[in-house]
Every structure is written in C-alpha cells, then in structure tokens.
Amino acid sequence: MGAEKLKSRVDFVQKWVVEDPKEKYVWWPSEEMKRRAWVSDPSIYERAAKDPVAFWGKLAAEGLEWFKKWDTTYVENPPYFKWFVGGKLNICYNAVDRHLKAGKGDKVAIIWVPEPIEESPRKITYKELHDQVNRFANVLKSLGVKRGDRVGIYLPLIPEVQIAMLACARIGAVHSVVFSAFSSDSLRVRLEDAGAKVLVTADGYYRRGKLVDLKASADEGVKGTSVEKVVVVKRAGNEVNMVEGRDRWWHELMEKAEPSCEPEVMDAEDMLYLLYTSGTTGRPKGVIHTTGGYATQVYWTTKWVFDLHDDDLFWCTSDIGWVTGHSYACYGPLLNGISMLIYEGSPDYPTPDRWWEIIEQHKVTVFYTAPTAIRMFVGLGEALPKKHNLSSLRLLGTVGEPIDMEAWLWYFNNIGGGRCPITDTWWQTETGGTLIMSLPGVGPFMPTVAGRSFPGTRHEVMDEDGSPTPVGYLVQLSPFGPGMLRGLYKADDKYRETYWSRYRNQFYFTGDGARRASHGCIRVTGRVDDVMKVAGHRLSTAELEDAMNRHAAVSESAVIPKPHPIKGETPVAYVILKKGVAPSDELAKELVAHIGKVVGPIAKPEQVFIVEELPKTRSGKIMRRILKALLTNDPIGDTSTLFNPESVESLKKKVGYTGPG
Ligand code: 6R9
C-alpha cells in the first residue's frame, strides 16, 4: 500500500509530516475517540508531573477497594522503594467480589475460545468466576498451601489458569506461572528457585491440532523439587500417569471444595507473584511483584491505555506465561470488571484467518498483540482479514518489541480499517504494567514510536554518564512506577547490578536503547544487552549458551541474535566441539533439537555453526560484535584487539559472509 493512498483513506485524523523521514506520519485521535476516551485532555501529563506521588495516591484510592488505607504513599531508598505503605487489600477481592457487590455478577468475565473448532467457546460470568476461585482457594488450603507459600502454575491458556492465579492471590499465596511451551528442565529450574509447594498443571492441550502431553513434562519438571502435590486439570483427555498420594484431579477436588473462602487481608507490599524472566545470565531471574502498587498500575493502565468501557470486549493475545498475559489477560481486565476473550491456540489454525474469524464472531472491540504476529500476517496477505467483518474493532495495541513501519501501516490499515488508533506500549516483565505509550484520546500515534511516559512516571534517554541525549539508553526516573518489581527472588546482588549499578542507584536502567522522537515521544529501539526477543518471547543468549554447553559434545558456544523478518530476532549458535568429537550435519541438527528439549521449542537456533575457534580478546572474552556482523553482513570493524584475529577469516567462510570486510 502506497503511503499516499493510505494518507487519503485516513480522513478522521489530523496529520502532518515531521522532519524525521521515518516518522513521516503522525495521527491524532478523532473527535469521536476523544469524546469516548477516559482521558482526552493532554494536560493530565503536566498535572501528574507536578506531584506524581499524590497523583498515584488518588488513582489507588479511586481504582481499588482497600480494607485499610495506607499511611504513607511512597517511600524511596534506592534501589528500593515501596508504595502505599501500611495499606491493606486483596487483589482477588478487587478483581472478582467487588463486581458482584456492584450487581455485575451476570456480566461475562471471560470468553474462552478453544483451539479445536469442534469445541464450543466457554463463557464465564463474574459470578461463576467467583464460585470457581473460591473453591480453588479452598482446594489450595486443603493441600496445605498457606499465605506466603509459592504455587507453580504450568497450564495452557484455559480459564483454569486465571482461576488458579486468583485463588492464590485470594489466600495470599505467591503464584509462579511457567509458560506451558517451556521444557521440563525450564520448569524444574523455576520450581526449584521458587521453592514451590504445589504445582497446578493439565493433562495436555492442543497446539496446531497436535496434542501436547503437558503432564509428562510436568512429571519430569517436579522431580527433585519441593513440590508435594500436583493438581491436574483434565483438558485434552489424554492418558496420564497419576502418582498416588501426589497427584489429584482438579475437577474432583473442586466438586468437594467448600464454595466460600474469605479473602486474606494482604499488605500492599506483600508479594503477589514471581515471574521468571531471562536476563544476562544462564539462570532465569524471579521478578518480584507486590500487591497494592501492581494492582494500581495494571488497573489504570488497562483502563486508560485500552480505554475500556462496560460494552467493550478486550482481547490480549499473549500467553499467560508472559507478563503481558498476567497484566492484560488476567488482572487488568478483571480488576476493571470488563469482558475479555482468551484463545487457547495458534493464530493460524486450522485456517490462517482464525484470529480474524474470532474477532468477527465475538465482536472484539479492543485488540492487543505483538509485532511478530502482525509481520506473519503481512506475509499472508491482505485477502485474509478482508474476508471478515472487523468493524467491531475500535482500538489496537502492540507490545513486545519495536514495530516497524510496514507492519504498523498494515495493521492500521488492514485490521483497523484506517479507523483505529494503534497504541504501541513499551514495558517489561520488571515494570509490571505498560509505561510508555500514547493514550487513545490524546495521541499522537506514530509508526515505530512508542509514545510518552504514562502520567505519573518519567523516562529519559541518557548517555553512559546519565545526561539526557537524543540517542542513548532508556532509563526510568523517580518516583518509580507503583507496578515496578521490588527485587529479584533470592538474588539481591543481581537486582542491584542489573538495574541500578549503571546509574549508581539514581535511575532504573531498562536494558533498552531509545531515541527521542517528536511531540515528547520516545522511540524504543530494542535491547542493548544480551536479551533477545524471539517472536516476542524473551530469551537470553546466556541461557541458551548454558543449555548448549550442557550437551556432551560441546566445549564452548556463543549464541547471537540474528535479525529475522517475522520473528524479529532468531538465535544462531556458534559451537566449538570437545576434542575428538567429529563435526557433522547430524550433530548440528541434534544440537538444535537439544536446545528445543532443554529450553523449549521457541528457543531452537535457526542455525548451528560448528567452528574451530571463536574470536576472543586477550582477556578471553568472546567478541560478540564480530559474530553478529558475520551474520548481518555488516562491516567486521577493528580486529586488532583480538587474541586470534585469524579466526575471523575462517568464520567468514563458514557463515558465507558477503559483507564489506
Ligand atoms: C511486555 C514485555 C521486555 C522487552 C523490553 C523491550 C521490548 C516491549 C516494546 C518493546 C519496543 C515496545 N519491548 N515492548 N520494544 N517497543 N512497545 O514485552 O515484557 O517480555 O519482559 O520484554 O521487550 O526490549 O525491554 P518482556
């Protein structure tokens, strides 16, 4: 689609060309959008900035029901800070009971769409959700789970996942959800670190029509951990091995459970959940989120960023195993008492227009997905969405990685019909909720540009020394958002080092690079550390190297993210074999499969190069910059500091380098 044609089709918005050619188009909300939006007055940014702490205090009081009001809104002792100190609440009570009290018990909370088309979608009202959550809370108690205990959740995207999370929150237990496509090894590492007492899992689930035997992975994953009981949801009906005394069926326990469970009175700063995420080391880190601040931030970001009203149907396509699923496919929508849709399966199964069919059928109004999915659909062509009536949509969102111009315009045009603003939301597992975006009633909406700091938060683009600069690192300034992580589980040194050491505890370092854009906006350009985003999934090179080095044939490895037209990035591995091991194509294939098994299928390297040597500095550090340039055919640059500069020549041949030298 030519830019001119696009321009003429968009008549509801005011637009102009800004200097930066990459930001050729800027859209503003229509009058109708402004009228409907919760926020349409841009002065909110200045008002919030005058006293951000008071601003958040007001939001916390308005958005949530507290059992006891807090004594102090914000206390900061960097790199630690607390919100709503002394306040008491229960997030499950706020997400469920409150809506029953308000007479909204019959409203649909969750529409669940199963992958197999023969199965009917399931609708769960707030009243039914309340019943299920109360029962499961009692189930957890009967299994010995107490306030503060950790519960592992390893489930596909079925409503039991939200029920289990809310039930944990109800009794003050800490949930730790593990992505269901992660391997048993990945599960074990997370369960071990969290010291989980109970695991909630399922027999199996469907992915692209194929049955995945989840219980078999769960059985492997709990081996040697502190898990005492396993609750199994019957989802796929596949044959499973139930271990006597350890494993119990969800439906049997639920049938017998008492239907009412008082919500625990939690402190605002009590831990709500752990979510493991990839950092710069081999082991994933347990990001700690607490109750009051997180609830406040996800409540308000859901409401304002997705502009949700009572008649909306919100669909966030993220799996629950990621933070996006936690905040926008569970807590955020439910805290707001709105209806949300969740879909179990693959976007293109059984037909490549499955998503658009779901939007049409259920009349989804606000749709939130990842650029990687959009890029996949760009490749499939415009005809697919055209087959469907997508006129119910009024707002679109993206998350997970920078969105390129082409994907943005395609999404805007073919899914949003040129009507719907796109809010490009920047945030991280660590920030709990989205922090940089454009508000739909305020704008502007610019391809490739995330937007402005959410009212009451501050971000800056800075150089190494902490001075503002047009191109540099993205940092967050005090007061730190209420939904921010409060630490890394049992890894305080790592917490200080990863986020706070660079700017001596003054600013939070995000790990992202960024540029200042027009209209006070920020364009986030991607990670500057060893974190990769592969099809929107966060992985670390160190984690994959660690897994690779555990293979018996491998002596050393380096995993490098390579740009990929659909996935954004894809891992490529350089491997040195142990002495006496003969290289072969079979072995390279086996190493790919090995990563799939040890980490999960999403982490499989696209290529494995078996090499003799890796370029190293005299101090023995692998020069990743060179390994990357070899993959992207960029200039290799200075090799004079290398201990083994001759290694580069043989690597060039190996990877088929065609760059300038
Ligand atoms: C929510 C989520 C965090 C990293 C983050 C950044 C990238 C997320 C983005 C974006 C550009 C956006 N990222 N949203 N980059 N524009 N709108 O994705 O959390 O999995 O922890 O990843 O994702 O690099 O640092 P998480």
pLDDT digits (tens, 9 = 90+) for 110-125: 999 999 999 999 999 9
CATH topology of domain 124-264: Rossmann fold (3.40.50)
Confidence of residue 22 (pLDDT cuts 50, 70, 90): low
Helix 126-142, helix 159-171: angle, nearest 10? 60
Q: Whose CA is nearest to atom 22 of ligand 1?
A: 428
Ligand 1 contact via 323 beta carbon (within 6 Å): yes
Contact 572, 564 (CB under 8 A): no
What value does the mean pLDDT take over residues 452-459? 98
**For 584-596, what is each residue's pLDDT tens digit?**
999 999 999 999 9
Ligand 1 contact via 459 beta carbon (within 6 Å): no
Q: How far is the CA of 529 from the centre of ligand 1 (A)?
A: 13
- From edge to edge, which strands make up the β-sheet containing 458-462? 458-462, 471-477, 508-516, 522-527
Ligand 1 atom closest to residue 424's alpha carbon, by position in its atom list: 17
Compute the C-alpha angle 439/563/635, nearest 5°. 120
Half-sphere exposure for 522 (CA within 13 Å, toward CB): 28
Contact 556, 576 (CB under 8 A): yes
Ligand 1 contact via 402 beta carbon (within 6 Å): yes
Contact partners, residue 155, CB within 8 Å, separation at least 6:
161, 164, 177, 180, 200, 201, 202, 214, 233, 320
Q: How far is the CA of 617 from the centre of ligand 1 (A)?
A: 31
Ligand 1 atom closest to residue 511's alpha carbon, by position in its atom list: 25
Q: For a pocket test of ligand 1, which of 445, 538, 602 has the largest count of ligand atoms closer than 8 A to its C-beta?
A: 538
Ligand 1 contact via 525 beta carbon (within 6 Å): no
Q: What is the pLDDT of residue 396?
A: 98
**23 has pLDDT over 80:** no
33-88+291-521: in CATH 3.40.50.12780:
yes
User: Do 124-264 and 527-655 have matching folds?
Assistant: no
Residue 567's DSSP bridge partners are: none
Segment among 288-297, 398-407, 503-512 with least mean pLDDT: 398-407
Owner of token pair 């609750």: 231
**3 has pLDDT over 70:** no
Coil, strand, or helix at residue 453?
strand
- Between CA 162 and CA 494 the distance in angstroms is 30
Q: Which of 478, 562, 444, 463 is nearest to 513 (CA)?
A: 463
Give how far Cα 327 sits from Cα of 65, 233, 296, 356, 514, Å: 18, 23, 11, 23, 24
Domain ranges of the chain: 33-88+291-521, 124-264, 527-655
Coil, strand, or helix at residue 282?
coil
- Evaluate if pTM is beyond 0.75: yes
- Average pLDDT of the residues of the chain: 94
Segment among 56-60, 481-485, 640-644 with least mean pLDDT: 640-644
- The CATH code belonging to domain 527-655 is 3.30.300.30
**For 272-300, what is each residue's pLDDT tens digit?**
999 999 877 778 999 999 999 999 999 99
Q: What is the pLDDT of residue 248?
A: 98
Segment among 164-168, 230-234, 249-253, 409-413 with least mean pLDDT: 409-413
Ligand 1 contact via 276 beta carbon (within 6 Å): no
Q: How far is the CA of 193 from the centre of ligand 1 (A)?
A: 24
